[in-house]
Structure 1
């Protein structure tokens, strides 16, 4: 169930939990929160937002336009460091790379994620839009299913992230939760943060990776770890809930892709992503 709306842009649990502190130029300290874990691993979209915040400080442009991440090892709650490097700065775009690292049990520094990103100013973009894309057909929120509706699905490990999201899943994509998956690799939902904070470009990095994996609707259970994720942020989202659609068209060789679209309350396509993930081992 959603919490009483108390979060605002810049002052919310999401902002506090993705905060970074500049230790020296290009080096940022972070504390990965256990509140954003799923199946005992820190969510990949949340991690992108942490890295994205560091790059926004390190680069001369404020907004992520494209972020490509390779996930090497699972991240755990606790201290982390983000090391950034500016690669190129132009008039409209700047590019940089970043790595998120943590210490293992022996005290050795381990690289968890490596990112290459381009940043710009979303407010400076042209208003010319020519598209054949259409928002996903999702029933009204009151006809969709939240985490408090019906029996809790069997998902092993920590699912703390669900308490920080206001997800309203399309009934056509929740068969997995009652043991009757559709067999289609589709997941659709209304998306928001549980404390009512409106979306911004950094939270879009979370939104593309926040829904249950499409593998659940394919009848597969278990962790679906991300190998690579690329997100394109197309516009600054309007206030209000987002609609997220995720589709898998091909599972082969133990891997699947997930294509996501995020639409805002003004019916604009504000983010797109594709990720390659390892299918759950059965």
Structure 2
């Protein structure tokens, strides 16, 4: 009886914030998104000299950040998972930023020699492998596929992005590859290529191809203001060009479409 009386007299009163957990998670997610976008802005300020490319990169980062919010709002992932994804993206962007910001970039020094082949020859070789025609005859969409295929092949082992949804896995992987490629482009086109090569190191796939870079900016293949094309050219000599089939091909094409959404060549 006394026990029952005790239970009946146990009364809790006061305001209850039933949505407190949701609000807390939302704040954590927003903070993580802000940190991710700030890292992208910091990278673009330090590592992208071309104003148009810088603006498009910033747009791409914001688009991926908004995609995280959409995935959370739709219920396909939790706010905590979204925040973790943003934090991972932020950390990888900062790694790429350090590679182009002395003196932090010094430990990454690890240059490679060029194959000695003309850039046009290398692009044609890769285009023939993919499309059975020379690079100059490719459509814009095919050129995008060729560029992304090279960047993806060289960088896939260094991209560690996990996400709860397929859309974010694709967006995260491509975002980091684009970031790494832009970092590499700024390094190899620097005026003092000798000192830059001494500190550039593992930009994509364990090291960019150094040497024979004097004609990079005036290459008839890429033209001016085409950083990802230029990096793709440099990576062709070491790209495996493995055949992609089945489900892997579908994912690959999703990545190509995401790559095109950045509007950076």
Q: Report which of the two structures shows the higher radius of gyration computed on alpha carbons.
A: 2
TM-score (norm 2): 0.29
Q: Which has the higher helix share?
A: 2
Structure possessing the higher relative contact order (Cα contacts under 8 Å, 6 or more residues apart): 2
TM-score (norm 1): 0.27
Q: Which has the higher strand share?
A: 1
